[in-house]
Amino acid sequence: MNSFAIVYGLTVPLVILTTVLKAYVFVRVTLRASEHLHNTMFKRLMHGTMRWFDITPVGRVINRFSKDIDETDTKIPFTLDTMLQNLCFIFAYLIIIAWVFPWFLIAAVPLAGIFILFIGCFRGGIRSLKRIENNTRSPLFSHISASVRGKSVLRPFGKTKVFVERMKHLLDQNSCWLFMFQSAMRWLAVWLDMLVVIVVFVISVFMIGLAGYIDPAYAGMALTYALQMSGIFQFAVRMHAEFESKMISVERINYYIDNIEQEQLSACQPTLDACWLTEGAVSFKNVSLRYGEDKQLALKNVSFDVAGGEKIGIIGRTGSGKSSLVSALLRLYPICEGTICIDSHDVTLLDLRQLRCKIGVIPQDPVLFSGTLRFNVDPQGKCSDMQLWKAIETVQLKHVVEQKMGNGLDTRIEQGGRNFSVGERQLVCMARAFLQNVSIFLLDEATAHLDSATDHSVQRCFDDVAKKCTVFIIAHRLNSVMACDKILYLEDGQILEWGYRNDLLARSDSRFAQTVTALGLGVSKDDDDENGDDDDDDVQ
């Protein structure tokens, strides 16, 4: 009796220790695997080409980083752990039953064949149902995302009901396949119950037939384990089926990792030193660009030269190719023909990170991140507080930070900058750009959200900060480019006019001059020393 107590006394702490150790190792391994999948997919996504983002619905990306990552973080580890634990119980029960009734092994062979047949018929269908259910979820996420972004338009135009009905339709589609998946799981459970009933029946027959040859205690133990195996067997197989279906999320993540088209980061020529860009001279030679193989050319044989330190105003109607110039210069899209050079270096041969870190971009739609004002103005933490305040003061945002916010550089910025107005967000982005050590600035409708007075004031500040930099200003409002040295007028992806601003204004046949006259814009008298040869500024 004492020996049994000692055995049980030693077994209990050993079981507790092994269980805790198993849980710790299992959680660490599965979480590291999930973290690796997430980080790898995120890295691939950050280096994906713009073309890939153009053809990929945002709902599909959200689905990968929400539902699929949730499956790998929480559902798959739990399912795998439960499945392995129950399989160990089943094997232990079968070993005990076979030890009590060796003849049971003969009956176990056909039962195993029936079980394999069930699983073979079931696996293909359950995977397909789960895959379809996952695929029908992406359009639902895309629709919800589009509805949230466009709610300010849907409500005034009375289209809310249409979008609600569309969401119900997409939700019904997803729920239909989810219901079929759950029904298939229940179908398997019924047949597994029947299989376990057969096992219990066989053991009962052996007990009756071998009544005088087997110890009743052993026979009762075998029957007890057979009855317990009923629920465990069904649960283990169901966990196995769910594990296979949830592994589709891993399959989808791996598909993204392997198939996201990547930007070419590495240089095709030896890496240049950090001071490779000194003048900021830009040259376009017969550049053509399209956004896809089946798309029309957005830029058509565009050629012009910009000397370092010049300020270029780029104007034209919507769709004329203004933003396409920025895309080509930053290598957001590959050009079809021609060459783009910065300080005589072909941008297609440069290291992409080395190219973009030398170009400051102020976009039309300002982007702010959750965090402090300090982080948003200086994400890399390279500047002192004095430099940060100087940049904030330059864009005339200091009074907003001091009076409205009250926390200075540690002011909290909500997600997307919701606690700032659109104009204030744009000023923060400008302050961020001013702190960069760049020789070229690209302003893509940077002052579109500012009032005229602030626009004019910021333009003057920008002239002081970037007086030695090459500046490209894309604008719809002509008064934003009236202080530029040269004007690039685009139409249908081609250069309509190109030359010094005053030269274009002096020409009676100039489209730019006609537009300025029609709008009644005055021209400030700048200290323009434009003594270059006009022949070099003709439209190519």
Residue 236 lies in a domain: yes
The three-state DSSP-derived secondary structure of 185-243 is HHHHHHHHHHHHHHHHHHHHHHHHHCCCCCCHHHHHHHHHHHHHHHHHHHHHHHHHHHH
Q: Which of 530, 6, 53 is nearest to 311 (CA)?
A: 530
Residue 253 lies in a domain: yes
Distance, in Å, from the CA atom of 299 to the CA atom of 289, rounded to the nearest integer, reads: 5
Burial 429-464 (b: 16+ CB within 10 A, else e): bbbbbbbbebbbbbbbbbbbbbeeebbeebbebbee
Residue 469 lies in a domain: no
pLDDT at 172: 92
Amino acid identity for residue 182 in this structure: Q
Residue 115 lies in a domain: yes
Q: Which of 389, 401, 408, 453 is nearest to 425 (CA)?
A: 401
Sort 118 into a burial class: Cβ within 10 Å, 0-12 / 13-18 / 19+: middle
pLDDT at 341: 92
Instruction: Answer yes or no: are the C-beta atoms of 301 and 338 closer than 8 Å.
Output: yes
Residue 323 lies in a domain: no
pLDDT at 304: 93
Helix (H) or strand (E) holding 503: helix 501-506
User: How many distinct structural domains can be found in the chain?
Assistant: 1
Sign of the torsion formed by the C-alpha atoms of 505, 508, 513 and 516 = positive
Residue 442 lies in a domain: no
Instruction: Answer yes or no: are the C-beta atoms of 441 and 362 closer than 8 Å.
Output: yes
Q: What is the CA angle 324-325-331, rounded to 5?
A: 85
Range of the domain at 224: 2-126+191-259
Q: What is the pLDDT along the chain (540 residues), one digit of tens a residue?
A: 567 677 777 888 888 888 888 888 888 898 899 999 999 999 999 888 888 888 888 878 888 898 889 989 888 888 888 888 888 888 888 888 888 877 777 777 787 777 777 777 777 777 788 778 878 887 888 888 888 888 888 888 888 888 899 999 999 998 998 898 888 878 877 877 787 787 778 777 777 777 767 777 877 877 787 777 767 877 887 788 788 878 888 988 998 899 888 887 765 665 666 667 778 899 999 999 988 888 889 999 999 999 988 999 999 888 888 889 988 999 998 899 999 999 888 888 888 888 888 888 888 788 888 888 889 888 888 888 888 888 888 887 888 887 766 678 888 888 878 888 877 888 888 888 888 878 888 888 777 766 777 677 667 767 777 778 889 988 877 877 888 899 999 999 999 999 999 999 988 888 888 888 887 765 544 444 443 443 333 333
Residue 231 lies in a domain: yes
pLDDT at 535: 38
Distance, in Å, from the CA atom of 379 to the CA atom of 31, rounded to the nearest integer, reads: 29
Query: What phi and psi values does residue 422 have, to the nearest 5 degrees?
Result: -60, -40
Sign of the torsion formed by the C-alpha atoms of 381, 383, 385 and 389 = negative
pLDDT at 446: 73
Query: What phi and psi values does residue 178 have, to the nearest 5 degrees?
Result: -65, -40
Residue 27 lies in a domain: yes
Cα 95 to Cα 114, 234, 257, 362, distances in angstroms: 20, 18, 43, 71
pLDDT at 538: 37
pLDDT at 486: 92
Distance, in Å, from the CA atom of 158 to the CA atom of 5, rounded to the nearest integer, reads: 78
Distance, in Å, from the CA atom of 170 to the CA atom of 166, rounded to the nearest integer, reads: 6
Distance, in Å, from the CA atom of 456 to the CA atom of 396, rounded to the nearest integer, reads: 12
